[in-house]
Structure 1
C-alpha cells in the first residue's frame, strides 16, 4: 500500500515539477493569448463594422456569439476531455486559436468572420479549467491559490497588452493586423507549452457524478447568477469602449489605444488589490466593487465630452473593472471546493454568459438610446446585481 502511495506521489511530481515556477507563467502566457483573441476585437469593432458594412451593434455579435458558445459548451466539453493528457489538450486548444485568427484575417464576409470566431470558442473553456487545475497541482497545496492567481493574471495582462496591442497594429496597418498579432501571441504560447512543459497525463479522474453534484448546491447557483449579473454590468459599457471613446469622448485611434493600455495597466494593480481584499473579507470586497464601478460609470456619463477628465476616468475604470473577474471566480470556486476544475469551468461559462448578455444589452442600448447612454445601462445592470447579492446575503443569514 505504501508503495502504491509513493508511486502516486511520484506520478504527480512527474506531472509538473513542484519547484518549477515557469509552469504557471507558461500557462499564464497561454491565457494571455486566448484573452487577446477573445477581447481583441473590442478595440477594432468600428473598423470591422465599416469593412463588412454592418452596424456597430451587429459587429458586437463577434463578441456575443463567442461568449454564448463558451457559456453553452463550457462545463460539458471540459468534462468530456477530462481524461486527456493535459499538455496535449492545452496545445491543441492554442493551435485551434491560431487557425481561427488566420481564418479571421482572410474572411471574405461578416458571416465567415463570425464562423471563424465561433470555432475556437468551443475549446476556450478547456484551456482555462485545465490550466487552473494544473497550476494548483504544480506547487505544494498551501501555495496553490497563488499559483492559480498567477495563471489568472493572464486575463489582466491580456487587457493591458493584448487588446491595446491589437488596436495599435490595426491603427498602424489595418484590421487584419489585429488578428495577426493574436495569432503570433498564441503561436509563442503553444511553442512554450510544447518545448518547456513535460507530458502531463491525468492520474486521477473524478467521476462525472461527483463533479456534477456541485450543481445541486443552492450556494453554487446563487454565486453563478451573481457572477453573471456582475460581468453583464461590466461588459455593457466595456464591450463598446472603443466606439464610446471615439464617438463620445472624440478620441482618435492612437488615443484610444493609449487609453486602453492604461485601462489594462491599472487593471493589473486593481486585480492585486482586490485579491488582497478578498482574502480578508469577501463580502465587504463585493460591496466595495459595486460602489466603485457604479460611481465611475456615473461620473463618466457626466464628463465624457471633456477629454482630460474622461481620459483620467478610464484609468480609474480599469483599476476597478478587472477585479470583477477575480471576484466572480472566487465566489463560484469557494462555493464548490470539492470540484475545483469543474467549478472553474462553470465560472468560465457564467462569465461568458455575462459577457454575451452585456454585449447584447450594450448593442441594444446603442440602438435605442445612442452610444452615450452606455454608462447608464451599465449602472442599471450593476444595481440589479447588487440587489440580487443583497437578497442572497439576507437569505443566507436567515
Structure 2
C-alpha cells in the first residue's frame, strides 16, 4: 500500500530536517550563545551518539508496540523539540531537548519501513522501502536548505519553527491517513548477535563508521565552512545547500544500480570524494558559478554515503539482514559523532579550513579497512574450497 510508504517518507523528512537542519544554522547558534562552533556542534554529535548507542536495543524493545502509536509518539517528540528549541532556552536545555527525540529516531525508521513492507505485496517490498528512505534525499534537497534560508532571512529560531511545522504535518498524516497496523513479532537479539563475532562483519562495521565520519568531518560544519572559507552569507549558503542536495538525487540512483554489480568498487568510488572534493572547494576561489559546480560534485559523491555504507555492512550478514540494517543506522550515527567531534577538535586547533584534512584521514582509514575485509573474504573462500568435497 503506497500510502503507508509515503506517510513514512513524510515522517522521515520531518526527522531528517530536525537532525540535519541544525547544520546550516550552527554559526548563528554559536554566535547567539557566545560559544565556539565546535561546542555548537554537540547539537549534532550528541543527537547521533544517542542513536548509535541506543538504536538496536530500542528497536527491539518497541518491536511489539502498535506501529501507528510508536510512529506518532516519535514524531510528537520531534515537534516538542522544535518548539522548545525555537524559544532559545539555555544551551544545556537546548542540547537536552535535542537529544530526547533521538531515542526514538531508529525506532521510527525501522517501524516505518516494516509498516510499508507489511502493507505491500512481497514483490513490492523493496520499492516501498525505497519510498520511505527517499525522505532522506528529499529533506536534503528541500527542508534542510529551506531551514537555512529562513535563518538568513529571519533568524535561527525560525528554522526550528519550520522544523516543528514539518513534523506536525507528518504527525497529522500518520493520525489521519495511516491505518491501524498489527504489531510485529518480538525479535530475539541472541539469535542474530552471532554476526558480531564474524571478522568480516566486524571489519565492515569499522568501514561503516569511518566512511560516515569522513564525510561529516566537513559536512557537520558546512555552513561555517562556506561562510568563513568561501565568504558566503546565509542566503547564498542555503542556495548552495540546495545545489548540494539536488546533485545527490541522480547519485543515489546511480549508486543503487552499481552496488548490485560492484559493491566494493562502488563504495570505494563514492568514498574517494571525501579525499579530494573539499580540497577542490578551497582551491577554486570565490566565484559563485565554479563553487556551485564543485559543490554539486561534492553533493554527488556525498549523497549515497548512507546507502553505500548500509549495503556494504548488510552484505556481510546475509542471515541477519534486519538486525544488520538496525546496526547500520547505529554505526552511521556513531560515524557522525566521531567525525563531528574529531573535526571540532581540529577546527579548534587549526581553524575551519583544516576540517577536510580530518575527513581525508578517515577516508584513507576506511579504504585500508576495506582492503582488510577483501583479504578476509578471500581467505574465507579459500578455506571453504579446501573443505568442500
TM-score range, shorter chain: over 0.9
User: For the residues of structure 1 that align with 2:50 and 2:44, how far apart are their CA atoms?
Assistant: 10
User: For the residues of structure 2 that align with 1:73 and 1:236, how far apart are their CA atoms?
Assistant: 23
- State the match for 1:123 in structure 2: 104
- The answer on whether the counterparts of 1:78 and 1:129 sit within 8 Å (CA) in structure 2 is yes
User: For the residues of structure 1 that align with 2:343 and 2:31, how far apart are their CA atoms?
Assistant: 19
- The answer on whether the counterparts of 1:67 and 1:355 sit within 8 Å (CA) in structure 2 is yes
Q: After superposition, what is the alpha-carbon deviation per residue over 1:330-382, rounded to whole angstroms, capped at 9, x for unaligned?
A: 12233334444332221111010000111112211211111111222211110
User: For the residues of structure 1 that align with 2:170 and 2:279, how far apart are their CA atoms?
Assistant: 39
- The answer on whether the counterparts of 1:132 and 1:344 sit within 8 Å (CA) in structure 2 is no
1:381-392 alignment, distance < 5 Å? 381-392=362-373
- State the match for 2:78 in structure 1: 97
- State the match for 1:325 in structure 2: 306
Where 1:139 maps in the other structure, the secondary structure is: coil
**Residue from 329, 333, 343 that aligns with 1:362:** 343
Unaligned 5+ segments in structure 1 are 1-19
* CA gap 1:303/1:243 in 2 versus in 1, 3 angstroms: same
User: For the residues of structure 1 that align with 2:188 and 2:368, how far apart are their CA atoms?
Assistant: 36
- The answer on whether the counterparts of 1:249 and 1:307 sit within 8 Å (CA) in structure 2 is no
- State the match for 1:158 in structure 2: 139
User: For the residues of structure 1 that align with 2:112 and 2:318, how far apart are their CA atoms?
Assistant: 17
- State the match for 2:358 in structure 1: 377
User: For the residues of structure 2 that align with 1:244 and 1:81, how far apart are their CA atoms?
Assistant: 39
- The answer on whether the counterparts of 2:147 and 2:163 sit within 8 Å (CA) in structure 1 is yes
- The answer on whether the counterparts of 1:301 and 1:376 sit within 8 Å (CA) in structure 2 is no
Q: After superposition, what is the alpha-carbon deviation per residue over 1:217-258, rounded to whole angstroms, capped at 9, x for unaligned?
A: 333222211110000000000010100100110111111000
* CA gap 1:221/1:133 in 2 versus in 1, 3 angstroms: farther
Q: Is 1:241 the equivalent of 2:222?
A: yes
**Residue from 162, 169, 186 that aligns with 1:188:** 169
- The answer on whether the counterparts of 2:44 and 2:337 sit within 8 Å (CA) in structure 1 is yes
User: For the residues of structure 1 that align with 2:192 and 2:165, how far apart are their CA atoms?
Assistant: 36
Of 125-134 and 297-306, deviating more is: 297-306
Q: Is 1:41 the equivalent of 2:22?
A: yes
Where 2:275 maps in the other structure, the secondary structure is: helix
User: For the residues of structure 2 that align with 1:21 and 1:111, how far apart are their CA atoms?
Assistant: 41
Of 143-152 and 41-50, deviating more is: 143-152
- State the match for 2:382 in structure 1: none
User: For the residues of structure 2 that align with 1:391 and 1:136, how far apart are their CA atoms?
Assistant: 35
User: For the residues of structure 2 that align with 1:207 and 1:352, how far apart are their CA atoms?
Assistant: 23
Unaligned 5+ segments in structure 2 are 380-389
Where 1:335 maps in the other structure, the secondary structure is: coil
- State the match for 1:315 in structure 2: 296
Number of residue pairs the alignment of both structures matches: 379
Question: With structure 2 as the length reference, what TM-score do the two structures score?
Answer: 0.93
User: For the residues of structure 2 that align with 1:287 and 1:203, how far apart are their CA atoms?
Assistant: 36
User: For the residues of structure 2 that align with 1:281 and 1:139, how far apart are their CA atoms?
Assistant: 29
- State the match for 1:84 in structure 2: 65
Q: CA deviation at 1:191?
A: 1.0
Q: CA deviation at 1:297?
A: 2.5
- State the match for 1:171 in structure 2: 152
- State the match for 2:315 in structure 1: 334
Of 352-361 and 267-276, deviating more is: 267-276
Of 288-297 and 30-39, deviating more is: 288-297
1:338-349 alignment, distance < 5 Å? 338-349=319-330
Of 250-259 and 362-371, deviating more is: 362-371
Question: With structure 1 as the length reference, what TM-score do the two structures score?
Answer: 0.91
Q: Is 1:75 the equivalent of 2:56?
A: yes
Q: CA deviation at 1:110?
A: 0.9
User: For the residues of structure 2 that align with 1:214 and 1:154, how far apart are their CA atoms?
Assistant: 29
1:128-277 alignment, distance < 5 Å? 128-277=109-258
* CA gap 1:340/1:199 in 2 versus in 1, 3 angstroms: farther
* CA gap 1:348/1:395 in 2 versus in 1, 3 angstroms: same
- The answer on whether the counterparts of 1:39 and 1:163 sit within 8 Å (CA) in structure 2 is yes
